[in-house]
């Protein structure tokens, strides 16, 4: 059985849409959005350290209670993740909706 380029493109589009829907459903469970050169994360705890070795600056992130935007991962929820990157890192705190009493 041969898969056409159109079938593969449709499959990838469906996977991305499913991932977006999952993101939309879980984003309110997290406090931070973290964007690196390779991945996008949601997390409830973020520790960002700027490091230097051999004249090179890099970033070391430790995330706890996280969700990883990756269409190919079978398990996107992770208890803890350590990320090392040489590119810029963007960390944003999510605004929580006001609680109604």
Domain assignments of the chain as residue spans, ordered by start: 5-93
Name the residue among 60, 25, 18 with its Cα closest to residue 42: 25
The tokens for 70 are: 């990756």
pLDDT tens string 35-84: 999 899 999 999 999 999 999 999 999 999 999 998 888 889 999 999 99
Which pTM was predicted?
0.80
- Inform me whether the pLDDT recorded for 7 exceeds 80: no
pLDDT digits (tens, 9 = 90+) for 79-99: 999 999 998 899 999 987 644
For residues 16, 38, 46, 88, the Cα torsion angle rounded to the nearest 10 degrees is: -130
Statement: residue 4 has pLDDT above 90: no
Map 15-58 to HEC letters.
Answer: HHHHHHHHHHHHHHHCCEEEECCCCEEEEEEEEEEEEEECCEEE
């Amino acid at each position: 059985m041969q898969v056409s380029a159109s079938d593969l493109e449709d499959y990838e589009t469906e996977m991305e849409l499913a991932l977006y829907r999952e993101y939309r459903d879980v984003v309110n469970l997290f406090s931070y959005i973290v964007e690196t050169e390779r991945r996008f994360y949601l997390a409830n705890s973020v520790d960002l350290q700027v490091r230097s070795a051999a004249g090179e600056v890099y970033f070391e992130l430790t995330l706890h209670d996280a969700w990883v935007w990756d269409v190919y991962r079978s398990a996107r929820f992770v208890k803890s993740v350590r990320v090392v990157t040489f590119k810029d890192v963007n960390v944003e705190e999510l605004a929580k909706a006001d609680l109604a009493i």
